[in-house]
Amino acid sequence: MTTETIENFSELNLSENILKALTEMGFEKPSPIQAQGIPAVMQGADVIGQAQTGTGKTAAFGIPVLERIDLSSNAVQALVLCPTRELAVQVSEEIGRLAKYQKGIRIEAIYGGDSIDRQIRSLKRGVHIVVGTPGRVMDHMERKTLKFDEVRMMVLDEADEMLDMGFREDIESILADMPEDRQTILFSATMSKPIMSITKRFLNDPILIKVVRNELTNVNIEQVFFEVKPQAKVEVMTRLIDMHHLKSLLVFCNTKRKVDEIVEDLQLRGYASEGIHGDLRQQQRSNVMSKFKAGVTTILVATDVAARGIDVSGLDGVINFDIPLDEEYYVHRIGRTGRAGMSGKAFSLVARDEKFRLKTIENYTKVKIEKGVIPSYEDIVGVRKARFVESISAAIKNGDDLDLYNDVLEMLHHSGYSTEQIVGAMAKQIMGVQKNEYADSNLAWEERRGERDGRREGSGDRFERRSSGGSRFERGGREGDRRGSDRFAPAGRGESRRSEGGRDESRKSAVPEAGMTRLFLSLGRKDHILPKDIVGAIAGEANIPGKTIGAIDIYDKFTFVDVPERDARAVLRAMDGNTIKGKPVQIDIAK
């Protein structure tokens, strides 16, 4: 059976129930990873599937998992591990939709941040498919509230992200605890050495399915870059949004801190924008996402990792506020637009020191990214004016209750204003044109004669660099490796360059003592926490002696704490999402 010939789900030997659900979900034909993956998984083999985000990997394993559940047993028969709570929820919901006509199947999402007692009660009633995050699954295994003796299928979804997030050990101990004769399936957007080593250890003679990225050459995506001074990026971005009338837009940047900065800046300028990144609580994220899907928010600003977990379609465009550090991320990002035959725009804002990365991306994708011209202030006022006239005409045509406002003009005339003045003032206000704070000539950087790509600029990029401090938490290993030395630089604008113990001191302590694990906490000096607060919280919550806690480096916005290696996991589990001095804290292994 070759995949080219599979045009229909009915060719995949699926049960009527599943086919009915698929029709209802509007799935017309299997995606390539489904066409190849479903038969391989159904035949019982171990499978490695590689395909990028948004290609339908969930159903590729979800359908065969559903086909193999034995409803006469109440035991857990399939375990799916996902990197984040969002993904766990999303995957369990998608499997739920696929299972709509399989009465009696129970699927449960198990993740941190949700009441463990509620989960335990639910698990007691009997669950066939568990979709969970590694930390919480481990937790249940230790409490013996989850038993895996009957598990036949084990799925590692978004395996690359799980490893990037530091779940390697958890995954390995979970895998080691599964019945020997289970089937193991691993899905990932990228393949790295650590993933290959996991597959070597835990998969049996796996079938490798790799779907080539056709997004790389998706002709529906218009790829353009703009050479922009770092401090003018938001201005240029808003001009592009206005110029192209982008109403549903995803903006990517490399760090969480940048997400917050951009959102704040956009909101101040009157754009309906919200950010999504790993620091948001589940409730906040769902909130942000439903507003975006409803069109209340038009601009969603995200980091690469956070964007993995969201399912949005019909975007007008994607803006790369920063150029990603990884070529594959660029492909993932722009693949979010121009779907299903619609056209999409992918704009990249390139600072001088990012130019070489753009070149690397071009080499990788084999597509030339065109250089664009930044719209002038006049251009922007022009398009806004045209749109204003259009919307006023529409309001007049559609308005049957306009006589309610008849006297407004009269009232203003009474105050001594001319009709021209009144209309002008209203236009300006409604159009929301900002005062021109940047000269057009001051937005782009000039290519110096003989400048080589990849050259780093000295002072002009401070704005860029200062964002890298908190980034490790979001991006994990890859970025950490490349930019590790920035990590301990004092973070934040106008902040003293003197960190606790000084810059050199903190560099020296970048490696924790033997036997210790360095943890990253999302609270810092700005939260008024003191070493004793941290010791108190960790010792109390994780139940370890305070004196075993090692070095504590408090920075403005985050803190590094060394704890004994053997206690690191207990501390993570006890503290992540917990509070210190009433402030919610995110905690993770520092990389």
Site for ligand ADP in 66-125 (CB under 6 A): 94
Closest CA to 184 of 166, 168, 172, 169: 172
Instruction: Please tell me the distance from the alpha carbon of residue 164 to that of residue 279, in angstroms, as a whole number.
Output: 16
Size of the site for Mg ion (CB under 5 A): 1
Alpha-carbon span 107 to 100, nearest angstrom: 11
Instruction: Tell which positions 24-43 bind ligand ADP, by CB under 6 A.
Output: 27, 30-31, 34
Q: What is the number of other CB atoms lying within 10 angstroms of the CB of residue 195?
A: 20
Please report how close the Cβ of residue 9 comes to ligand ADP at its closest, in angstroms: 8
Residues 242-281 that bind ligand ADP (CB under 6 A): none
Contact 130, 78 (CB under 8 A): yes
Q: Residue 309 binds which one of ligand ADP, Mg ion, none, with CB within 5 to 8 A depending on kind? A: none
Q: Which stretch binds Mg ion (CB under 5 A): 55-63, 237-245, 385-393, 429-437?
A: 55-63
Owner of token pair 């950087």: 445
- Applying CB under 6 A, among 36, 50, 53, 184 the residue interacting with ligand ADP is 53
Q: Which is nearer to ligand ADP, 293 or 465 (CB)?
A: 293
Please choose, out of 13-21, 49-57, 175-183, 234-242, the segment that lies near Mg ion by the rule CB under 5 A.
49-57
Give least dist CB 27 to ligand ADP, A: 4
Interface mask toward ligand ADP for 292-331; x: CB under 6 A:
-------------------x--------------------
**DSSP 8-class letter at 407:** H
In the complex, minimum distance from the CB of residue 39 to ligand ADP, in angstroms, rounded to a whole number: 15
In the complex, what is the shortest distance from the CB of residue 173 to ligand ADP, in angstroms, rounded to a whole number? 25
Cβ proximity to ligand ADP, 257 vs 308, nearer residue: 308
Angle at CA of residue 281, ends 278 and 285, nearest 5°: 80
- Residues 351 and 464: their CA atoms lie apart, in Å, by 9
CA 590, 260, 529 angle in degrees (round to 5)?
Answer: 50
Encoding tokens for residue 521?
A: 């906490």
Which one of 57, 333, 345, 591 is in contact with Mg ion (CB under 5 A)?
57
Comparing CB distances to ligand ADP, the nearer of 30 and 96 is 30
Q: Are 228 and 259 in contact (CB under 8 A)?
A: no
53-80 core/surface letters (b: 16 or more CB in 10 A; e: else): bbbbbbbbbbbbbbbbbeeeeeebbbbb
Contact call for residue 487 and Mg ion (CB under 5 A): no
Does 58 contact ligand ADP by CB under 6 A? yes
> Minimum distance from CB of 479 to ligand ADP (Å)?
21
User: Residue 222 is encoded by which pair of tokens?
Assistant: 């218009």
End-to-end Cα separation, the chain, in angstroms: 45
State how far the Cα of 98 lies from the Cα of 95, in Å rounded to an integer: 5
Q: Which CB atom, from 54 or from 564, has the smaller least distance to Mg ion? A: 54
Beta carbon of residue 33, minimum distance to Mg ion (angstroms, whole number)? 10
Rounded Cα–Cα distance for residues 281 and 276 (Å): 10
Cα–Cα dist 471/467, whole Å: 7
Query: Could you give the C-alpha distances from 424 to 107, 389, 431, in angstroms and in order?
Result: 60, 12, 10
Q: Under the criterion CB under 6 A, does residue 57 sit at the interface with ligand ADP?
A: yes
* The entry of Mg ion, ligand ADP, none that residue 230 binds, CB within 5 to 8 Å by partner kind: none
The least CB distance from residue 112 to Mg ion, in Å, is 19
| Position closest to Mg ion via CB | 57
Nearer to ligand ADP by Cβ, of 57 and 136: the residue is: 57
Q: Which is nearer to ligand ADP, 139 or 164 (CB)?
A: 164
* Binding residues for ligand ADP (CB under 6 A): 27, 30-31, 34, 51, 53-59, 94, 311
